[in-house]
Structure 1
Amino acid sequence: MHVVPGLKVLYFGTPVVVVSSRNENGGTNLAPMSSAWWLGRSCLLGLSDHSQTAANLKRDGEAVLNLPDAGMVDAVDRLALTTGRRDVPEYKRRQGYRHVGDKFAAAGLTAQPSDLVGPARVVQCPIQLECRLVSAHAIGAPAVDATAFEVEVLRTHVEEELLIPGTSYVDPVRWDPLIMKFTEFFGEGRNIHPSRLAAGWKMPHRMPASQA
């Protein structure tokens, strides 16, 4: 039997993306997000207008979409509740967010130069997509407080072991993306790590200790 619960969160599950974008000082900001989908050579990213990443994309128009696998969950979780904004919005402070200037150091990740765009790539991410901004659309109802960024993928970097030998296709069996659903981390269909984001958002669910 279906019920009508009036869901508070529509966050059913998408791959985690660590977005590299260029700050005003030329440095690279890193931000994990999981509101992204692809079609052809395009990707749509949903980002809060209060984020440093949104500001960087609107100003600079370039990004790298670094796709972590499930084994990188520790590093991604260390980026949770951090922001590149020095003026941390009050509502984010209440959730536990803090300003971090060097996100690579905070997460224990390594930067490497990109080929076609300014922001650096993340060495540890097995898939890296260099992108340029095509368009931006205000979204969010009833109050508009987010932007959908359409980006074009200019170049892909993929760990060779993830490819089907002799082809330019990713092997879906070998590729185990880190998934976030309802603010919790999943890989291979199971919960794999406690989530700072879930705690910061005061989500009511609690993952079984045996699965964390």
Structure 2
Amino acid sequence: MPTLSDPTAATHVTISPKILYFGTPVVLLSTENDDGSANLAPISSAWALGHTVVLGLGPDGQSGHNLTARPEMVINLPAAHQWQAVERIASLTGRHPVPASKRDRFRFEPAKFTAAGLRPQDSLHVHPPRVADCPLQVEARTSRIHTATGGAFLIVEAQVLAVHAHAGIVVAGTDHVDPSAWNPLIYNFRHYFGLGAQLGHSFRSETPAANPSSS
């Protein structure tokens, strides 16, 4: 059997995976329900470009419904060791009645923070609460929502309003997250992972001291 550590192995096979979560960060997304309460939902499709964050959401979920009506959100990023809190609400939905597309796997639960064992924290610029337990919290406002080709997903573009980071993952005296201290939860083909050992840093890095080989 060829292995990745074998430089002579050039064997590839063509596959048709159901999903392409090839190592994406897990987000706990806070949004505001119609009655002013908070919904908390784990999502696995999120990426950032500058201070714009793009999210992929299911069209039948409560998060998509909330953001269509009220644009504010908090993008909370849990650490790797918090995967069990994420999984506790993975099969829950804040949508009632539960959409037909979810009824075989999901059940309605309005108290997501309690179910996850996480604590809400007041936000500074938006109505939905932050997750106090998450080391990184990003307050944001939706700028555009459109439906992906085929209608299977909503693509949400959000503008970042504020970033809150636990002091333990910030390089002292700077606005930089210390990559050697921050270990995000990664969703890798529906399995939870943390980061491995650091291999190096980009030439654009402003925190090269975080690289053990350069200290």
Is this a same-fold pair by TM over 0.5? yes
Is 2:185 aligned against 1:174?
no
Is 2:195 aligned against 1:165?
no
1:116 paired residue number: 125
> Shift of residue 188 of structure 1?
3.0
2:210 paired residue number: none
> Shift of residue 8 of structure 1?
2.2
Aligned ranges 1:29-178 → 2 under 5 Å:
29-94=39-104, 96-140=105-149, 143-178=150-185
Give the count of matched residue pairs. Answer: 187
Which of the residues 13, 17, 29 maps onto 1:7?
17
Unaligned runs of 5+ in 1: 191-212
For residues 47 and 111 of structure 1, the distance between their equivalents in structure 2, rounded to whole angstroms, comes to: 22
Runs of 4+ in 1 over 4 A off after TM superposition: none
1:16 paired residue number: 26
> Shift of residue 7 of structure 1?
2.4
Which of the residues 157, 166, 184 maps onto 2:191?
184
Percent identity between the two aligned chains: 44
Report the TM-score, using the length of structure 1 for normalisation. 0.85
> Shift of residue 189 of structure 1?
4.0
Q: What amino acid maps onto 1:167 in structure 2? A: T
For residues 65 and 6 of structure 1, the distance between their equivalents in structure 2, rounded to whole angstroms, comes to: 31
> Shift of residue 4 of structure 1?
1.4
Q: What amino acid maps onto 1:16 in structure 2? A: V
> Shift of residue 72 of structure 1?
1.0
SS across alignment from 1:13: strand
Report the TM-score, using the length of structure 2 for normalisation. 0.84
Task: Determine which structure has the larger helix proportion and give its number.
Answer: 1
Q: What amino acid maps onto 1:102 in structure 2? A: A
For residues 7 and 83 of structure 1, the distance between their equivalents in structure 2, rounded to whole angstroms, comes to: 25
Q: Over the residues paired in the alignment, what is the CA RMSD in angstroms?
A: 1.3
Unaligned runs of 5+ in 2: 1-10, 198-215
1:19-61 deviation digits (Å, cap 9, x = unpaired): 0000000001000011000011110000010110001011000
